[in-house]
Structure 1
Amino acid sequence: MNLAVFSTKPYDKEYFEKFKNEYDIKISYYEANLKPNTAKLTKDFDAVCVFVNDVLNKKTVETIAKKGVRLIALRCAGFNNVDLNACKENNIKVVRVPAYSPEAVAEHAMALILTLNRKTHKAYNRVREGNFSLTNLIGFNLYKKVVGVVGTGKIGAAFCRIAKGFGCEVLAYDINKNEELEKNGVKYVSLEELFNKSDVISLHCPLNEKTKHIIDKSSIEKMKKGVLLVNTSRGALVNTKDVITGLKSKKIAFLGIDVYEQEENLFFKDLSESIIKDDLLLRLNSFPNVLITSHQAFFTKEAMTEITTTTLNNIQEFMNDEKLTNEVS
């Protein structure tokens, strides 16, 4: 099996090289994203391994099919960047990593909340400059606050448990209720009630037609004044322009994001010597109450190990003509 890994970073190669000898797979690495104008690179490969910002639209899929690719292996949970209908039409199977380390993302969401609230990032910079003043560093007790969780899959459930551990009242919204969470005191409510009552809102739902821009002008109007909003799921869950308006009006008091709707040409790259042309991102960065990380919520040793081994197992199952445990249908 010849595998082409796209959007390769040093840590991706490190983990694939660490485990590849356990599998009968020959791997080639490409730093470039897989998209229509790079799809020609897939000639003579049986499978491609892609990440969140690769573009598997109809044009890409048709091109890689002509080159001989029979399998798309996502090394992530989300698959909104893949045209599944085009894959079916071109007889290409799609597999993913449905759960690698839910705790990794959930813990990062809580880290964003605590950092924004207690302003530890600002305190760190102050102390390094010899400034020991506490002025403007005041936060609030998370204990007994109402935390709203949108989406209670494995990541959302892990976040609910963390929030309960802080002594928060946890409200949740999901089309499927988790009975175990309910037994532990999580209360399922309508999305409108969650927006109305939550002091903190954390997004943990997949991106699809129903959830795109779930945070927009209308939903922000329903929220408490001074809400703390966090998104570690998919950038397009949030309408950035509307959130900026919410920040300017102070309806949103704090914003923490690990994902961004237009992150494809930004995240996972060192642009420190470049001029960033994304005006919305620059505007977000201008707010003192906004904290942005570059899609690193998943990035732990445990998660990287699980992502790599699950991806390789998915490919091995395809090679052996076995049932695909993590097939996307």
Structure 2
Amino acid sequence: MKFIAFNVRQDEQPYFENWSRQNQIEVKLVADALTAASLKQVDGYDGVLALQTGSYPAAMFEHFKRCGVKVFAIRNVGTDNIDLAAAKANGVLVTNVPAYSPNAIAEFSVTQLMQLVRNTTIFRQKIAEQDFRWAPHVGKELRSLTVGVIGTGRIGRAAIDIYRGFGAKVIAYDLYPNPQLQAEGIYVDSYDELFAQADVITLHMPATATDRHLIGEKAFAKMKAGVYLINTARGTLIDTKALLAALKSGKVAGAALDTYENESALFNHDLRGQKIKDPLFKELMQQQNVLITPHIAFYTTTAVENMVLISLNSAKSVCEKGTADTVVKIR
């Protein structure tokens, strides 16, 4: 049994190497992404590990079948860019890491909101210019706000606990309500109801084809004036063009975006000295009330270790037992 892992960063290497030694299983580490050009590198391996970012070669699973790869283990949650039907057709199991650290993402989302409501980015800019005046950038307290949480899985529930700790009123919407939260009366009946009530909207849901641009022009029209929007989920949930219009009109007071709908060409790349070719992203970066981070809400030592170890153990389980607790269900 031996594995090959792609997109391996330096911070992941120690966890891969320790696991390999402890389990006496060869794991080849490749820094580059898995592409059509590098697909031949998987020949002779039982499992392939990768990150759920970017896109994969169209014929990847056919190649896996031909060379005997049994499992494709991603070190993330989402599978929206993986051709699961092709995986099933070629007999390759796909595993993910359902929960590497819900708290990491929940904590980060609250951190970003706190910066928005207390105008810290604006004050950093003012101080750099030696302008030490306060007005007119008065802040808000979380306990005075209604926070609307969309998606109440592990991450959403962790966020709810944190917001409650600040004394905020929390409402939520989920297509599949959590029974405990439902008993507490936290849920509203529709997106529209949440949009109408929330001072803050924070997204903690997966992305599907039907949810693309869930937050768009029509949704913004139903929101309170001066709403704050936090997205640590998936970039495709927000229509960026509509968001920019809402920011400029004042409908949205501030946005914290850890994901962006066209992020694959930008995030986790060193583009210093290069011109950004994406006009929407360039415009986002120019907004004083927008915080952009390159998909790093998950990025803690706890999460990185869990992502590596759970994906490796999943691949090992599939090779030894033919299944794993983390196998993605394909309809």
Q: Which range, TM-score by smaller chain?
A: over 0.9
Per-residue deviation at 1:11? 1.3
Aligned to 1:75: 75
Please tell me the residue identity of whatever aligns with 1:106: A
CA contact (8 A) 2:121 2:288 kept: no
Aligned to 2:324: 324
Write the mapping of 1:162-173 to structure 2, written as runs, cut at 5 A: 162-173=162-173
Name the CA shift for 1:34/1:136 in 2 (closer, same or farther; >3 Å).
farther
Matched, 1:202 2:202: yes
Please tell me the residue identity of whatever aligns with 1:241: K
- Structure with larger RCO (C-alpha < 8 A, sep 6+): 2
Please tell me the residue identity of whatever aligns with 2:163: A
CA contact (8 A) 1:35 1:54 kept: no
Deviates more, 1:226-235 or 1:246-255: 246-255
Aligned to 2:273: 273
Aligned to 2:257: 257
- How far, CA to CA, are the matches of 2:57 and 2:80 in structure 1? 10
Per-residue deviation at 1:148? 0.5
Aligned to 2:181: 181
Aligned to 1:120: 120
Deviates more, 1:43-52 or 1:199-208: 43-52
Percent identity of the aligned residues?
Answer: 35
Equivalences, count: 329
Q: Name stretches of at least 5 consecutive residues in structure 1 with no aligned partner.
A: none
CA contact (8 A) 1:94 1:327 kept: yes
Deviates more, 1:296-305 or 1:113-122: 113-122
CA contact (8 A) 2:71 2:319 kept: no
- Structure 1 runs (4+) deviating above 6 angstroms are none
Per-residue deviation at 1:12? 2.0
TM-score by length of 1: 0.93
Aligned to 2:15: 15
Aligned to 2:222: 222
Aligned to 1:302: 302
Indicate the SS of the match to 1:210.
Answer: helix
Per-residue deviation at 1:292? 0.4
CA contact (8 A) 2:56 2:82 kept: yes
Please tell me the residue identity of whatever aligns with 2:164: K
Please tell me the residue identity of whatever aligns with 1:98: P
Q: Name stretches of at least 5 consecutive residues in structure 2 with no aligned partner.
A: none
CA contact (8 A) 2:122 2:288 kept: no
Per-residue deviation at 1:187? 3.3
CA contact (8 A) 2:64 2:92 kept: no
Indicate the SS of the match to 2:55.
Answer: coil
Deviates more, 1:50-59 or 1:165-174: 50-59
- How far, CA to CA, are the matches of 2:188 and 2:178 in structure 1? 9
Indicate the SS of the match to 1:11.
Answer: coil
Matched, 1:289 2:283: no
Indicate the SS of the match to 1:148.
Answer: strand
CA contact (8 A) 1:33 1:53 kept: no
TM-score by length of 2: 0.93
Indicate the SS of the match to 2:210.
Answer: coil
Please tell me the residue identity of whatever aligns with 2:202: S
Per-residue deviation at 1:58? 3.7
Deviates more, 1:291-300 or 1:11-20: 11-20
- How far, CA to CA, are the matches of 2:137 and 2:89 in structure 1? 56
- How far, CA to CA, are the matches of 2:191 and 2:297 in structure 1? 24
Per-residue deviation at 1:210? 2.4
Aligned to 2:88: 88
Name the CA shift for 1:44/1:174 in 2 (closer, same or farther; >3 Å).
same
Name the CA shift for 1:137/1:18 in 2 (closer, same or farther; >3 Å).
farther
CA contact (8 A) 1:231 1:256 kept: yes
Per-residue deviation at 1:185? 5.8
Report Cα offsets for 1:26-74 as digits up to 9, x if no partner: 1222222223343233222221111121423642322333343221001
Indicate the SS of the match to 1:156.
Answer: helix
- How far, CA to CA, are the matches of 1:321 and 1:52 in structure 2? 24
Please tell me the residue identity of whatever aligns with 2:113: I
Name the CA shift for 1:145/1:208 in 2 (closer, same or farther; >3 Å).
same
